[in-house]
Amino acid sequence: MWNWFLLAAAALVVVTAYLRGEQFYLVWPYVPNGDSIPRTSKMEAAVRAAEGLAFTLVGVHRAGKGGQHKIRYEFWISPRRDVLLLIGGGHIRFLPVDECRLFSKLPDGRCLTTLDDVKADRDLSGLRVDRAHAGATLNALLDFHGDHLRRMGVSPVDYSETDPLEDHRAALSEQLNRMVEYGYARRVGKHWRYSLVGSVMITVRGMRAHDVTS
């Protein structure tokens, strides 16, 4: 019985890893003209909270994959410019998508990333410190994010006053560079894809929820 279970689990990992390895990803996964996709109700609630906290809108994008990926992404910067907020919403085919992410640049070059979804994408570069607070409101997510910064004993590096999104673009590019260096991914023009080793690792890690402890 256990042998069949282990074989089925191994087969699932192999098939999922193969399919993931066949996918192409954009280095910068966002494109302009996000206004063509309306906000979801959850996005509206997050935007109201961001405005109440004096966050400033710095960009409206949509998912670069296009096709069935109808997702609007809004980037907001905190008053002190030490937290970049991503609010996303829309759908992939018929599946609804809603998410909030907080980013803070750390002095050692890593990025603290706080998510409201424990099943969000994983990192293989070692340059992201991921924490999740499932289903949290924006205010609760910010408190969770700030608490972890205090526990780390570090002060985040401010985002650029002129172009905070360029800072974020540079961070994503460096994360990809590190994955390529480790042999987990390879570049293909403006895209990239996982290597065999990378696709297996990201599949196995994806079977576990993000660290939700503080």
Instruction: List, for residues 40-84, the tens digit of each pLDDT value.
Output: 999 999 999 999 999 999 999 999 988 889 999 999 999 999 999
Integer Cα distance of 79 and 169 in angstroms: 20
* pTM to 2 decimal places: 0.88
With 50 as the cut, is the pLDDT of residue 9 above it? no
Instruction: List, for residues 102-138, the tens digit of each pLDDT value.
Output: 999 999 999 999 999 876 778 999 999 999 999 899 9
Integer Cα distance of 63 and 68 in angstroms: 10
- Its sign, for the CA torsion 104, 96, 211, 63, is negative
DSSP H or E run through 138: helix 138-152
Instruction: List, for residues 149-158, the tens digit of each pLDDT value.
Output: 999 999 999 9
Residue ranges of domains in the chain: 20-206
Q: What is the predicted pLDDT for the residue at 24? A: 86
